[in-house]
Amino acid sequence: MEQTKVRELQDVVIRFSGDSGDGMQLTGTLFSDTSALLGNGISTFPDYPAEIRAPQGTVAGVSGFQVHFGDHRELNPGDYCDVLVAMNPAALKANRKWLKAGATVIIDGDSITEEHLKKAGFKTLDPLAELNLDEYNVVVPDITSMTREALKETGLDNKAVTKCKNMFALGICFWMFDRPEEYALRYLDTKFAKKNPAVAEANKLAIKAGYNYAANTHQFANNYTVAPAAREKGTYRSISGNVATAWGLCAAAEKAGLPLFCGSYPITPATVILEELAKRKDLGVKTVQAEDEIAGICTAIGAAFAGNFAVTTTSGPGLSLKSEALGLAVMTELPLVVVDVQRGGPSTGLPTKTEQSDLAQALYGRNGECPVIVMAASSPSDCFHYAFEAGRLAMEHMTPVVLLTDGFIANGSEPWRIPSMKDYPKICPPIVDVAPEGGFMPYVRNEQLARGWAFPGKVGLEHRVGGLEKDAVKGSISHDPANHQKMVDTRAAKVAKVVDDIPSQQVWGDAEGELLVVGWGGTRGHLQNAVDEMRREGRKVSLCHFNYINPLPHGVREIFARFRRIVVCELNEGQFANYLRQNFQEFHYEQYNKCEGQPFTVVELKEKFESLLK
Amino acid sequence: MADYKYTPADFKSDQEVRWCPGCGDHAILNAVQRALPEVADALDTPHNLFTFVSGIGCSSRFIYYMKTYGFHSVHGRANAVATGVKVANPQLSVWVATGDGDSLAIGGNHFIHAIRRNVDLNVILFNNEIYGLTKGQYSPTSKLGKITKTSPYGTVEKPFNPGELVIGAKGTFFARTVDMEVQLTKECLVQAAKHKGMSVVEALQNCVIFNDKTHAAYAGDKATRAEHTVVLRHGEKMLFGANKEKGLVFENMKLKVVTVGQDGYTLDDVLTHDAHQRDTTLHMMLAAMKYPDYPVALGVIRAVEDDTVYDRAVERQVEEVKASSKIHCVDDLLHSGATWEVE
């Protein structure tokens, strides 16, 4: 075999794309997990249509999975790709705009047929010319027919064999980036071996065939290596935001010594949390797949009353349905975590696309004066930490907490240094076990204004709670005007007091400068990359990124005061900017907003920031 | 059989009962407070395990009058909240006080799904065929043509029969009683509590203000009830009338009212009630019997034990998975699957 040139790269972005039935999500996941095991920094971004099998061969039906891997910790999945794998012309067309200059494009030659070109909306029979790909390194292997050839002796029918073409493409990429095949082969064994060993074998053969094809032909100018990222010592794993959220909730239950209960209704993109918790019966987790969103939260409220750590998980439209019951949890002062994995709205909106437009709903979307703690996770792996925090604050302060994540961090994954539970604090809810002298009064509070939590079953603590306004001490129904005012004030003060139980606001970069970039939640990766790049270019830019939204942490005013300009960046039309205007009126806020169902790109952020520095 | 020596007073809270004078709810409250001491002993359930959950409506105020754990939730959601309570802690004896608006209109979905899942709840469905707390609008059980504030020319929609709904939703227990029949109500409630799985006891209840005498034609007083209702008891003949002279027979795929000793019908022809029959056909027919063609069926119409009691099944599955899994704590979980070391 001839020698190939081996080039070392710092980081690479690959985008796998094809029909939504082509298995692109699996292909991308196997590539990213393999790279993670090699110690690379990883960030991934699945981008798929809402339909399970959208019309075949059309641009609307294209499913993509982007992997960014490098020799350093990645903070975002990358704006533009170095390699595009397109299983058909539609995938090529849909992703043309995401190519980096000089990128490698691999398209299945068998898919370039008149029928496919027509479906994808090409006007000519030459998609490469039509898309003006001269400047790119375009490779057109006949992936489908080579896969069929390689698998002709497996005894599988044509349809089953053709399904393995994604693994052939994966094999090509494994060769290009010098990845070992072992992890993927092992995965296929576990996934198919019991159900259908022939399918497992066929997929494994396809990977090897793709690898050998790439190694033996000279179509790929180079192969590349990417060194492992320098990382803190420890045990690592790859984790997605939804799984991290589920596990963070499990951790909070364990640290509180209470069973975890999840009442939820399936909804994209939050469903994986319910699915993951349903597996966790080994940790005593009880899940109720409720008849609707309302029953999801109501069963959770019932479970909270009965002494479980209760959660409900949803996305924007589901949160709308839960609003009345969320008010009930505020009124009854029961601990509850509501996870909202945000997606494009309003209404059904863009179920599989990301957005940050539920902030106002989380803060205000209820009748009455109805404050809850609102917080947001900012990366796939820190969903674990913030889910734990949401549980801690809910239980220790006896209040509902809305935890906002979004489709981008929920579906994305990254390597994560596995924490040890001994480093996490014990959670101590104000549980009442014995009736005090004079009897248990459900609305008597501790110094944090949290009321006592007495579960049914405890002897001598029988009491009633409910959605009607309660007497400030006894908890019996009260329509007394002064009592209502007192209770409204107390519920607000209880949530406000949480500020003393959360970390002060931090700033990334210098504590003073020309421009302060402000963000919250799942945009942190892109914002931090943009700020870091500009700082390396000598710009006086810092980032102030929020995870705690209600209450806002200590120290915000002091940070804001030290910058000449402030720009609030969010994937909505300015909900957090308006919230800051309401809370800190003395500052002027510039805005950068986007509602395209897509994350920010570092390129567009830098352009905006540069313009503000002029 | 335990002997807690509870009395009804042990279940009375210090709250003033604020239903209208003459409201049927008073009698139902009375029956519940009398039933619980018996339930406590029969099921060895101490006082601290009784938990009442309600939704919104006149009847949902019920929980404030019980000296037990109580949760007054929001409109329609009692069965969902109660499902959460029971699944979280299956040891509790969970009761739901709800009305025809609460459980059959706004909360219809939770009602049928709690029944389908067979959660071990004891539901008391107060059926006064009207919205009382909002002052007199028709409900999903109001009779066709009923004139109310929101149907000034009469309703043009047919009502639900709660019994048909419960049995149709795969209910394992359905009983019907009348507010004034405290003894019968108590009997039904004790049976409901003993039943493993969801039990629904429909109480025909009079709203003295907005729908007075809605059940009077068949349940107004003792004499009327004797003529126009039949109390069903498992293993007993379906007889009614002042002197138990009338009975139900099954003829031409239908129920028929006959007088024993007339037209050639003997006592042997009269049906014997089998509440434990799995087949729903006859239970459905009995629950559907309407005045004036038939006597209205009271008592335990259906009580079929089923081994899929939801809250217990969830708990059992948790125990099974715990026993077989390698993951025993969150640390185990975090290290499960593919991991790698950075030195």
Residue B24's pLDDT is 96
Q: What SS3 string covers chain B?
A: CCCCCCCHHHHECCCCCCCCCCCCHHHHHHHHHHHHHHHHHHHCCCHHHEEEEECCCHHHHHHHHECCEEEECCCCCHHHHHHHHHHHCCCCEEEEEEEHHHHHHHCHHHHHHHHHHCCCCEEEEEECCEECCCCCEECCCCCCCCCECCECCCCCCCCCCHHHHHHHCCCCEEEEEECCCHHHHHHHHHHHHHCCCCEEEEEECCECCCECCCCHHHHCCHHHHHHHEEEECCCCECEECCCCCEEEEEECCEEEEEECCCCCCCHHHCCECCCCCCCCHHHHHHHHCCCCCCCEEEEEEEECCCCCCHHHHHHHHHHHHHHHCCCCCHHHHHCCCCEEEEC
Nearest to A295 among B80, B320, B343 (CB): B80
Which residue, B152, B155, B153, B154, is CA-closest to B140?
B155
Q: Do the chains contact at B341 and A236, CB–CB below 8 Å?
A: yes
Strand partners, A516: A542, A566
Strand partners, A240: A413
Q: CA angle, corner B290, sides to B284 and B296, nearest 5? A: 80
Q: Cβ distance B92 to B125 under 8 Å?
A: no
The answer on pLDDT for A3 being more than 70 is no
Cα B27 to Cα A132, A564, A565, B23, B182: the distances in Å are 84, 73, 70, 8, 6
Q: Do the chains contact at A465 and B333, CB–CB below 8 Å?
A: no
Q: Cβ distance B90 to A261 under 8 Å?
A: no
Q: What is the ipTM of this complex?
A: 0.97
| CB-CB neighbors (< 8 A) of B334 in chain A | 237, 247, 418-419, 421
The answer on pLDDT for A16 being more than 90 is yes
Which residue, A74, A87, A70, is CA-closest to A15?
A87
**Each residue of A184-224: pLDDT tens digit?**
999 998 888 788 889 999 999 999 999 999 988 877 766 77
Rounded to a whole number of angstroms, the distance from the CA of A281 to the nearest CA of chain B is 5
Which residue, A226, A296, A291, is CA-closest to A264?
A296
**Each residue of A497-526: pLDDT tens digit?**
999 999 999 999 999 999 999 999 999 999
Q: Tokens 């209208």 correspond to what residue?
A: B20
What is the arithmetic mean of pLDDT over A517-543? 96
Q: Do the chains contact at A286 and B49, CB–CB below 8 Å?
A: no
Q: Cβ distance A550 to A583 under 8 Å?
A: no
Which residue, A436, A229, A183, A401, is CA-closest to A310?
A401
Residue A405's pLDDT is 98
State the best of A291, A385, A433 to mutate against chain B, taking most chain B CBs within 10 Å.
A291
Cα B274 to Cα A377, B138, B232, B277: the distances in Å are 58, 35, 9, 6
Record the tokens describing residue A11, joined without a space: 């980081």
Distance CA A327, CA A317 (A): 17
Q: Hey, what's the torsion of the CAs at B199, B204, B208, B211, to 10 degrees?
A: 110
Q: Cβ distance A399 to A337 under 8 Å?
A: no
The residue in chain A having the minimum alpha-carbon distance to the alpha carbon of residue B91 is A457
B327 touching A (Cβ < 8 Å): yes
Say which residue, A53 or A141, is predicted with more confidence.
Answer: A141
User: What does DSSP assign to residue A196?
Assistant: -
Give pLDDT tens digits along chain B (343 positions): 899 999 999 999 999 999 999 999 999 999 999 999 999 999 999 999 999 999 999 999 999 999 999 999 999 999 999 999 999 999 999 999 999 999 999 999 999 999 999 999 999 999 999 999 999 999 999 999 999 999 999 999 999 999 999 999 999 999 999 999 999 999 999 999 999 999 999 999 999 999 999 999 999 999 999 999 999 999 999 999 999 999 999 999 999 999 999 999 999 999 999 999 999 999 999 999 999 999 999 999 999 998 899 999 999 999 999 999 999 999 999 999 888 888 7
Q: Where are the beta strands (DSSP E) in A303-396?
A: 309-314, 336-342, 373-376
Nearest to B331 among A234, A307, A420 (CB): A420
**Each residue of A153-189: pLDDT tens digit?**
998 999 999 999 999 999 999 999 989 999 999 999 8
Residues 6+ apart with CB under 8 A from A467: A327, A328, A331, A332, B56, B72, B73, B74
| Burial group, residue B278, by CB count within 10 angstroms (0-12, 13-18, 19+) | exposed
Distance CA B55, CA A325 (A): 12
Q: Do the chains contact at B339 and A233, CB–CB below 8 Å?
A: no
Which residue, A290, A296, A309, A295, is CA-closest to A250?
A309
Record the tokens describing residue A376, joined without a space: 């947001």
B18 touching A (Cβ < 8 Å): no
Nearest to A466 among B73, B327, B341 (CB): B73
Rounded to a whole number of angstroms, the distance from the CA of A245 to the nearest CA of chain B is 12
Q: Is the dihedral of CA B297, B300, B305, B308 positive or negative?
A: positive
Strand partners, A261: A286, A310
**Each residue of A457-497: pLDDT tens digit?**
999 999 999 999 999 988 889 999 999 999 999 999 999 99
Cα B159 to Cα A200, B145, B296: the distances in Å are 57, 10, 16
Q: Is the dihedral of CA B25, B28, B34, B40 positive or negative?
A: negative
Residue A56's pLDDT is 85
Q: What SS3 string covers B31-80?
A: HHHHHHHHHHHHHCCCHHHEEEEECCCHHHHHHHHECCEEEECCCCCHHH
Q: Do the chains contact at A307 and B341, CB–CB below 8 Å?
A: no
Nearest to B73 among A33, A292, A467 (CB): A467
Which residue, A118, A113, A158, A160, is CA-closest to A140?
A113
Residue A229's pLDDT is 80
Helices (H), A447-601: 481-496, 524-536, 556-560, 575-583
B 155-214 residues inside an 8 A Cβ radius of A:
none
Rounded to a whole number of angstroms, the distance from the CA of A173 to the nearest CA of chain B is 21
Tell me the residue type at A210.
G
**What radius of gyration, in Å, describes the C-alpha atoms of chain B?**
22
Q: Do the chains contact at B48 and A456, CB–CB below 8 Å?
A: yes
Rounded to a whole number of angstroms, the distance from the CA of B8 to the nearest CA of chain A is 16
Q: Helix (H) and strand (E) counts for chain A?
A: 21, 22
The answer on pLDDT for A337 being more than 90 is yes
B82 touching A (Cβ < 8 Å): yes
**Each residue of A230-267: pLDDT tens digit?**
778 899 998 999 999 999 999 999 999 999 999 999 99
Rounded to a whole number of angstroms, the distance from the CA of A434 to the nearest CA of chain B is 12
Count chain A–chain B contacts defined by CB atoms under 8 A. Answer: 212
| Burial group, residue B1, by CB count within 10 angstroms (0-12, 13-18, 19+) | exposed
Residue A221's pLDDT is 64
Which residue, A341, A240, A242, A268, is CA-closest to A29?
A240
Which residue, B205, B194, B200, B187, is CA-closest to B34?
B187
Residue B88's pLDDT is 98
CB atoms within 10 A of CB A125: 12
Record the tokens describing residue B200, joined without a space: 């629904």
Q: Is the dihedral of CA B292, B207, A302, B86 positive or negative?
A: negative
The residue in chain B having the minimum alpha-carbon distance to the alpha carbon of residue A30 is B338
Rounded to a whole number of angstroms, the distance from the CA of B176 to the nearest CA of chain A is 26
Q: Do the chains contact at A307 and B314, CB–CB below 8 Å?
A: no
Helices (H), A349-480: 359-364, 382-397, 407-411
Distance CA A325, CA A334 (A): 12
Q: Tokens 């339930």 correspond to what residue?
A: B39
pLDDT averaged over chain A? 94
User: What does DSSP assign to residue A284?
Assistant: T
B 89-108 residues inside an 8 A Cβ radius of A:
89, 91-92
CB atoms within 10 A of CB A284: 19
Distance CA A550, CA A365 (A): 14
Cα B278 to Cα B26, B164, B298, B301: the distances in Å are 35, 15, 19, 12
Residue A2's pLDDT is 43
Q: Do the chains contact at B341 and A261, CB–CB below 8 Å?
A: no
Residue A444's pLDDT is 94
Read off the pTM.
0.92
Residue A222's pLDDT is 64
